[in-house]
Structure 1
C-alpha cells in the first residue's frame, strides 16, 4: 500500500464536479484526486509557457535597436487617440 506524502485536502469543484466524475467513470483517471493533480500539472505547464512567452517578448523589446520613445510622448499620443475616438 502506498503511503501518502501529504494530508488529504477537501476541494469543492462546483459546476465542474460532473466533468471530473465523468473522467473517472470513463477510466481516463482512477480517482478524482488524479483528475485534480492532472489539472494542476496542466496549469503549471500553461504558466511556464506564458512565462517563457513573456520573457521572450521582454528580451526582444530590450534588444530592439529602435530608439525609445519618452513616456510623455507615448501618453500624449494615447490621449489624442482616445479623444479622437470619443
Structure 2
C-alpha cells in the first residue's frame, strides 16, 4: 500500500527559489524533503499553540471567571508597567 501522495503546488517565486536553494545547498536531497520539513515545523507550531491554549490560557480564564476581583483594568496595568520602567531607568542612571 502506498504511503505517499503526489501533489501539485504553486508557490510564489520567492518561496520556490527558497526551496530550490535549500536543495542546491545540500541541506535537503529533494524539493519534497524541504516541503515535508516545513509541514512538520508547521504541525509542531500548531501543536505548541494548542498545548499553550489548553494548559495556560483556558486555566487562566477559568480562574479569572471564578474570581473576577483578580482582573486589573488595562489602564492600571499600563500605569504599573510604566512605573516599573521609570524605576528601572532611574536606577540605571543612579538616581
TM-score, structure 2 normalization: 0.61
Larger % of helix: which? 2
Cα offset, 1:13, TM superposition: 1.6
> Runs in 1 of length 4+ with deviation above 2 angstroms?
none
Provide structure 2 residue ranges, at least 5 long, that are not aligned to the other structure. Answer: 70-95
Q: Which of 4, 21, 30 pairs up with 1:6?
A: 4
Q: CA RMSD in A?
A: 2.0
Correspondence for 1:59: 59
The residue correspondences of 1:18-33 to structure 2 (distance < 5 A) are 18-33=17-32
Provide structure 1 residue ranges, at least 5 long, that are not aligned to the other structure. Answer: 69-86
TM-score, structure 1 normalization: 0.66
